[in-house]
Amino acid sequence: MKEPIHVAILDDYQHVALSMADWPLLQGKAQLTVFNDHLSDKAGVIERLQPFQIVCVMRERTPLTKEILSALPRLKLIVSTGQRNASIDIKAAEELGIELKHTGYVMTGAPEMTWALLMAAARNIVEENIHFREGGWQKGMGIDLTGKTIGIIGLGNIGSKIAKYATAFDMKVIAWSENLTPEAAEKQGASWVSKETLMRESDFVTIHMVLSHRSRGIITAADFDQMKPTAWFINTSRGPLVDEFALIDAIRTRKIAGAALDVFDQEPLPKDHPFRTMEHVLITPHIGYVTENTYGVFYQDTLEAILQWLSGQE
C-alpha cells in the first residue's frame, strides 16, 4: 500500500495559513498539518518533522541544516516562501535528493515597513502614543525630514524604493554598497559616497542588503563610531548584517540617537534580550513582509508547488 503524503506548514505565527490558499485542493491527495508555534532546538525540529514528505517553511523562521535534513529520511520536498532562504542548506538538500521550490514575493512590504519605522522614530510616535494613553499630553519634539540626509546601504530593489520615498520628502539621498557605482546611484536619485562618508553625514542610516557570507557583519562598531549622535540606524533586512553587540553599545552610550529594528540575530527575539527594554529602540517582530498580499502569494504559490510535485508522483 502506498504511503500517504504528509505535508507540514511550519511557523504559522498568525494562524492564517489555512485561510490564505485553496487548501481543500489537497483533499484525497495529501494530509496537511499546520504548526503555529516555533521550535528552536534541532532535536525538537527533527522529532516533529519525522512523518512528513513535504515541509513548507516561512522564510528563515526554521533553519533546515544538513544535520536536520539528514535526520529526515521521508522528506522529499521543501517549499520555502520568498525567492531565497539562506537558512536552508541547499547543497545538503541536493545530496539527499530533496527537491527545493520557492514561491513568488511582493516587493512593497519591506520598503513600506522601513518608512513606517523611520517616520515613527522621527516623530516619537510610540512614546507620544503611550504618554497620551497614560493621561499626558505633548512629551517631546519630532524631527523634520525635509533637508535631512538619508544614507542607504544597498540600492537594490528595496533600497531604490527608499530613495524614491526620501526624495518625495525632500531629503538628501546618499548611498553606498560594495558594487554600487556613481552612475547606478544617480539613476535611482541618489549620490554615491564612500561608506565612511555615508555613516558620518547621514541623519538616518538604513540598510537593504541580502545576507551572505560577504555581507554578514558589514556594519561594525567602527561604523557606529562615525555616526552623528543625533542619527538613527534602521534595519529591516537581516539582523546578522550588523554587529548586534556594537549596536547595543552605540545606543547605550548615546553614540547614536537610537535604532529602529524589524530584524535580529536570533528570531524570535529572546524574552530577556536587551532590545526589549532599552530606551531609544523602536522594535517590531520581523513584520516587514507580513502583509495580506504577500501572504496570499506565499501560501497560494506553496499550494501550487505541492500540487505540481504531487502530479509528478502519480
Within a domain: 132: yes
Q: Is residue 1 part of a domain?
A: no
What is the rounded CA–CA span in Å between residue 225 and residue 221? Answer: 6
Which of 127, 128, 201, 267 is an active site residue? 267
| 216 CA to centre of own chain | 14
Alpha carbon distance 32, 54 (integer Å): 9
Task: List CB contacts of 235: < 8 A, sequence separation 6 or more.
Answer: 206, 207, 241, 242, 259, 260, 261, 262, 263
Give me the pLDDT at residue 1, please: 45
Task: Let me know whether 168 and 267 are in one domain.
Answer: yes
Instruction: Examine the domain organization and report whether 37 and 69 are in the same domain.
Output: yes
d(C-alpha 241, C-alpha 248), whole Å = 14
Q: Any bridge partners for residue 173, and if so which?
A: 150
Residues 65, 197: one domain?
no
Q: Identify whether residues 131 and 181 lie together within a single domain.
A: yes
User: What pLDDT is stored for residue 17 in this prediction?
Assistant: 97
Does any domain span residue 240? Answer: yes
Known catalytic membership, residue 84: no
Are both 92 and 166 inside the same structural domain? no
Cell (9 digits) for 260: 529602529
Specify the pLDDT at position 313: 83
Average confidence (pLDDT) per 10 residues, the chain, 314 residues = 86 97 95 96 97 96 96 97 92 97 95 98 96 96 97 97 98 97 97 98 97 94 98 97 98 98 96 96 97 97 97 83
CATH of the domain at 218: 3.40.50.720
Q: Are residues 184 and 235 in the same domain?
A: yes
Residues 215 and 259 placed together within one structural domain of the fold: yes
Total residues belonging to the chain: 314
Q: Does 21 reside within a domain?
A: yes
Considering the domain architecture, whether residues 236 and 299 belong to the same structural domain is answered as no
In this structure, what DSSP letter does residue 88 have? B
| CB-based contact 239:218 (threshold 8 Å) | no
Q: What is the residue range of 121's domain?
A: 109-283
Per-residue CA distances from 223 to 81, 151, 202, 233 (Å): 33, 13, 12, 11
Distances (CA, A) of 217 to 51, 199, 238, 244: 37, 15, 10, 9
How many Å separate Cα 96 from the centre of its chain? 28
Report pLDDT for 12.
97
Q: How many CB atoms lie within 10 A of CB 192?
A: 18
What pLDDT, on the 0 to 100 scale, is given for residue 86? 87
- 258's enclosing H/E stretch is strand 258-261
Same domain? For 22 and 75 the reply is: yes
pLDDT of residue 3: 76
Query: Cα–chain-centroid distance for residue 131?
Result: 29
- Do residues 15 and 56 both lie within one domain? yes
Total count of domains within the chain = 2
Instruction: Say whether 106 sits in a helix, a strand or coil.
Output: coil
Among the options 59, 61, 238, 244, which is catalytic? 238
Same domain, 116 and 94: no
Answer yes or no: is 186 within a domain. Answer: yes
Task: Tell me, yes or no, whether 222 and 258 share the same domain.
Answer: yes
Q: Does the active-site annotation cover 238? A: yes
Is residue 217 domain-resident? yes
- What pLDDT score does 4 carry? 86
C-alpha cell at 171: 531629503
On whether the pTM is more than 0.85, the answer is: yes
